[in-house]
Structure 1
Amino acid sequence: MIELSDVRKVFPARRGAAEVAAVDGVTLSVAAGEFAGVVGPSGSGKSTLARLVNLLERPTSGRVAVDGQVLTDLDDDGVRRARRSVGMVFQHFNLLDSRTAAGNVEHPLELAGVGRVERRRRVADLLDLVGLADRHASRPAQLSGGQKQRVAIARALAAHPKVLLCDEATSALDPASTTGVLDLLRRVRAELGLTVLLITHEMAVVRAVCDSAVLLESGRVVDGGRLTDVLARPHSPLAAQLLPAPAVAGRDGDLVRVTVTDSAPEGRVLRTLAGELGLDVEVAGGSVETVAGRRFGRLLLSVTGDDGRLDAALQRLRDGGSLVERAVPGDEPPAIGAHDEPATAEQPSAPRLLDAPGVPL
Structure 2
Amino acid sequence: MIELTDVRKVFPARRGAAEVVAVDGVTLSVADGEFAGVVGPSGSGKSTLVRLVNLLERPTSGGVVVDGQVLTDLDDDGVRRARRAVGMVFQHFNLLDSRTAAGNVEHPLELAGVGRTERRRRVADLLDLVGLADRHASRPAQLSGGQKQRVAIARALAAQPKVLLCDEATSALDPASTGGVLELLRQVRAELGLTVLLITHEMAVVRAVCDSAVLLDHGRVVDGGPLTEVLTRPHSPLAAQLLPVPAVAGGAGDLVRVTVTEDAPEGRVLRTLAGELGLDVEVVGGSVETVAGRRFGRLLLSVTGDDGRLDVALQRLRDGGSLVERAVPGDEPPPIGVHDEPEASGQPEPAVPHVLDIPEVPR
TM > 0.5 between the two? yes
Q: Which residue of 2 aligns with 1:352?
A: none
Q: Which residue of 1 aligns with 2:236?
A: 236
Q: Which residue of 2 aligns with 1:191?
A: 191
1:17 has 2:17 as partner? yes
**What amino acid sits opposite 1:49 in the alignment?**
L
1:138 has 2:141 as partner? no
For residues 304-315 of structure 1, the aligned pairs below 5 Å read 304-315=304-315
Q: CA deviation at 1:146?
A: 0.2
Q: Which residue of 1 aligns with 2:346?
A: 344
Q: CA deviation at 1:38?
A: 0.2
1:84 has 2:59 as partner? no
For residues 31-110 of structure 1, the aligned pairs below 5 Å read 31-110=31-110
1:301 has 2:301 as partner? yes
1:257 has 2:290 as partner? no
Identical pairs, percent: 91
CA contact (8 A) 2:130 2:154 kept: yes
Q: Which residue of 2 aligns with 1:358?
A: none
In 2, Cα distance between the equivalents of 1:115 and 1:13?
Answer: 47
Q: Which residue of 2 aligns with 1:152?
A: 152
Gap runs ≥5 in structure 1: 349-361
CA contact (8 A) 1:248 1:327 kept: no
Q: 1:115 to 1:251 in 2, by over 3 A?
A: farther
Q: Which residue of 2 aligns with 1:225?
A: 225
Q: CA deviation at 1:346?
A: 4.1
Q: Give the CA RMSD over aligned residues.
A: 1.3
- Bigger RCO of structures 1 and 2 (CA < 8 A, at least 6 apart): 1
Give secondary structure in 1 for the equivalent of 2:316. helix
Name segments (4+ residues, structure 1) moved above 3 Å: none
1:274 has 2:274 as partner? yes
In 2, Cα distance between the equivalents of 1:106 and 1:191?
Answer: 21
CA contact (8 A) 1:48 1:347 kept: no
In 1, Cα distance between the equivalents of 2:265 and 2:223?
Answer: 25
Q: Which residue of 2 aligns with 1:356?
A: none
Question: How many residues are matched?
Answer: 348
CA contact (8 A) 1:246 1:298 kept: no
CA contact (8 A) 2:91 2:171 kept: yes
**What amino acid sits opposite 1:118 in the alignment?**
E
Q: Which residue of 2 aligns with 1:29?
A: 29
CA contact (8 A) 2:250 2:328 kept: no
Q: CA deviation at 1:253?
A: 1.6
In 2, Cα distance between the equivalents of 1:173 and 1:19?
Answer: 33
Give secondary structure in 2 for the equivalent of 1:172. coil
In 2, Cα distance between the equivalents of 1:347 and 1:33?
Answer: 30
When normalised by structure 2's length, the TM-score is: 0.93
In 2, Cα distance between the equivalents of 1:43 and 1:157?
Answer: 29
Q: Which residue of 2 aligns with 1:3?
A: 3
**What amino acid sits opposite 1:331 in the alignment?**
D
CA contact (8 A) 1:89 1:165 kept: yes
Q: 1:213 to 1:347 in 2, by over 3 A?
A: farther
